[in-house]
Amino acid sequence: MNKPLCALIAVLTASGGCNTESHVYRDQPLVAKVETGMSKGQVQQIGGQPVSITQRTVEPGTCFDYKLTQAGHQQPYNVSFDSQGKVDHKSFMTCAQWSRAQQKAREYYSPSTGGMGGSGY
């Protein structure tokens, strides 16, 4: 992945977290304990069985959807794994939302669509 794409993904991820009350969920085990590089088994030991497991559509890998519950409120949360089965992303959105964000980032920076990547400037 190129640097501009990584930067856009980071912004999208951060802004997704800002739309939630992420501070409310920061002590939830999935939020507090899951770290980049962990295996699927380690994540399931921490968070249990996910609500759903899907294959990623933009980058090879898998994504676990969870529902966090705190004070009667529910919040979607995903943990995403690379093709080696290691955590490479987690955020306060569903796997489908994360996939759409990745796709939009790829389209934005794609040289074939006139995006920022490869424009020759």
- What pTM does this model have? 0.74
CATH class of 3-107: alpha beta
DSSP states of 41-95? HHHHHHH-S-SEEEE-SSSSSEEEEEEEEETTEEEEEEEEE-TTSBEEEEESS-H
Any idea what DSSP says for residue 121?
Answer: -
Domain boundaries, the chain: 3-107
pLDDT digits (tens, 9 = 90+) for 16-67: 444 556 788 989 999 999 999 999 999 999 999 999 999 998 899 999 999 9
* Model confidence at 5: pLDDT above 70: no
Which pLDDT value is given to residue 3?
54
What mean pLDDT value characterizes the chain?
A: 82
